[in-house]
């Protein structure tokens, strides 16, 4: 029998060490709860970084996998399948988009938007409209194009030169955006609520201003909703809190409830420039994964589900504000929906590590922001437990 230490030793011997993993092994999960190999129970307020929106082992996901497991698992994208077509329809009917391109992750979705934008500008007859504008605090992924749009220096620097022609403007600073976005810009990429960069919502006038500038210079506006989309920000789409629509939007993370899937949602104008052969992916939108994604999406996209997320958001915000008021280690709280950041005076990683001793899984977002991304299905009682465990953690760290 393989024990906890054997598993950790194998990982440290055979796996490329791109993560610093804590010395525990998760074995199973149920609802908002995770269990390790020693039988310890943790309240999962990270949701696998915004992936397990329906928590662990949700009936909707288990049943969708069971029902489709004996059907087609994979067939090439050279052929039609029903789940692929139906999921695309569902996503378009519920959003600004006219068409969808499926892929397998968030970085790949963002990578795709860069190709759409470059091709769109070229089709308009521009040969020099190749610039992309991204923002400070952004995170768009780890592949070379998406990484070029990611602000964090330590993620970029070892791999330079990255894809060229990306310029950064200050997030939430419209004057700076005005100066940076020019006729040379083919696309502007922004998270409506920045996740990794510190859980920072965009100001409404900022997103509205970006829309206006993009219209002025003929650039496509891309919303990266990989983290804040699909109910996480309290509305189905993060942009719905803003009264602004993009030309393209990227999704991944919770889209297939824990199975790997990404998507680029686009207007007809952006879609029309892409011809057969311009972009492709072997696995993307396969029948099993698309069936599961459809079940997850139609579960989240219900008025009562989203109203419940909103109600829990208000409740959690109140509890977190009270916690900040009582705790010298915390200086502020910001976020939306069930996506919250607590600003701390000490490294957030210390709080996250201590939280595990209190049976709580939470995340960092930047050096001094503790990030909470509980499953959207968390109950009010479980939110109380989350705050209780957080309070106990802060007391022991303090
Ligand atoms: C906003 C945003 N975009 C893109 C990504 C990259 O997604 P993936 O890890 O699936 O490539 C992330 C991941 O954290 C993200 O938060």
Gap from CA of 139 to ligand 1 centroid (Å) = 7
What per-residue confidence (pLDDT) applies to 1? 87
- The tens digit of pLDDT for each residue in 277-319 reads 999 999 999 999 999 999 999 999 999 999 999 999 999 999 9
CA 291 to chain centre: 20
- Pocket test of ligand 1: the residue of 19, 144, 227, 264 to mutate, having most ligand atoms within 8 Å of its CB, is 227
Place of tokens 């696309």: 187
| Residue spans in the chain of domains classed CATH 3.40.640.10 | 71-300
Helices H / strands E in the chain, number of each: 14, 17
Contacts of 162 by beta carbon, 8 Å cutoff, 6+ apart: 144, 145, 147, 148, 156
pLDDT digits (tens, 9 = 90+) for 11-56: 999 999 999 999 999 999 999 999 999 999 999 999 999 999 999 9
Q: What is the pLDDT of residue 300?
A: 98
Domain 4-58+303-397 coded CATH 3.90.1150.10: yes
C-beta 143 within 6 A of ligand 1 = no
Q: How far is the CA of 248 from the centre of ligand 1 (A)?
A: 16
pTM greater than 0.85? yes
Check residue 398 and give its pLDDT: 82
Where the chain has pLDDT below 50, the residues are none
The per-residue pLDDT for 27 is 97
Architecture of 71-300 per CATH? 3-Layer(aba) Sandwich (3.40)
Q: How far is CA 198 from CA 33, 195, 366, 374, 381, in A?
A: 25, 6, 6, 16, 26
Phi, then psi, of 288 in degrees rounded to 5:
-65, -50
Q: In what order do the strands lie in the sheet with 363-364?
A: 330-336, 339-344, 369-372, 363-364
Angle at 195 between CA 57 and CA 295, to 5 degrees: 30
Please give the Cα distance from 367 to 178 (Å, whole number). Answer: 29
* Ligand 1 binding pocket mutation candidate from 202, 253, 261, 364 (most atoms within 8 A of CB): 253
List, by residue range, all CATH 3.90.1150.10 domains of the chain: 4-58+303-397
pLDDT at 53: 98
């Amino acid at each position: 029998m393989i024990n906890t230490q054997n598993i950790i030793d194998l990982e440290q011997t055979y796996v490329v060490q791109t993560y610093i993993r804590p010395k525990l092994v998760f074995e199973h999960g149920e609802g908002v709860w995770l269990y390790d190999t020693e039988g310890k129970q943790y309240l999962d307020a990270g949701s696998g970084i915004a992936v397990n929106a329906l928590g662990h082992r949700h009936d909707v996901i288990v049943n969708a996998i069971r029902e489709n497991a004996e059907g087609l698992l994979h067939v090439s994208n050279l052929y039609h399948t029903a789940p692929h077509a139906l999921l695309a329809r569902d996503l378009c009917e519920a959003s600004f988009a006219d068409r969808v391109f499926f892929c397998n992750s968030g970085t790949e979705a963002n990578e795709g938007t860069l190709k759409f934008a470059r091709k769109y500008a070229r089709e308009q007859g521009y040969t020099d409209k190749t610039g992309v504008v991204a923002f400070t605090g952004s995170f768009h992924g780890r592949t070379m194009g998406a990484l070029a749009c990611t602000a964090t220096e330590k993620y970029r620097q070892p791999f330079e030169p990255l894809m060229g022609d990306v310029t950064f403007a200050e997030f939430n600073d419209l004057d700076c955006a005005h100066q940076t976005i020019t006729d040379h810009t083919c696309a502007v990429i922004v998270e409506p609520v920045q996740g990794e960069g510190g859980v920072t919502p965009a100001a409404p006038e900022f997103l509205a201003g970006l829309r206006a500038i993009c219209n002025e210079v003929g650039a496509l506006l891309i919303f990266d909703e990989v983290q804040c989309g699909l109910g996480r920000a309290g509305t189905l789409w993060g942009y719905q809190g803003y009264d602004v629509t993009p030309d393209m939007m990227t999704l991944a993370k919770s889209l297939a409830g824990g199975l790997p899937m990404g998507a680029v949602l686009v207007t007809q104008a952006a879609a029309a420039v892409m011809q057969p052969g311009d972009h492709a992916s072997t696995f993307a939108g396969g029948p099993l994964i698309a069936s599961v994604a459809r079940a997850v999406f139609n579960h989240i996209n219900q008025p009562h589900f989203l109203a419940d997320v909103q109600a829990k958001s208000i409740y959690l915000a109140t509890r977190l504000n009270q916690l900040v008021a009582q705790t010298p280690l915390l200086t502020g709280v910001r976020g939306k929906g069930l996506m919250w950041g607590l600003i701390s005076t000490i490294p957030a990683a210390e709080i996250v590590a201590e939280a595990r001793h209190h049976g709580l899984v939470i995340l960092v977002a930047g050096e001094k922001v503790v990030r909470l991304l509980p499953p959207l299905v968390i109950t009010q009682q479980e939110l109380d437990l989350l705050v209780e465990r957080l309070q106990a953690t802060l007391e022991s760290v303090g």
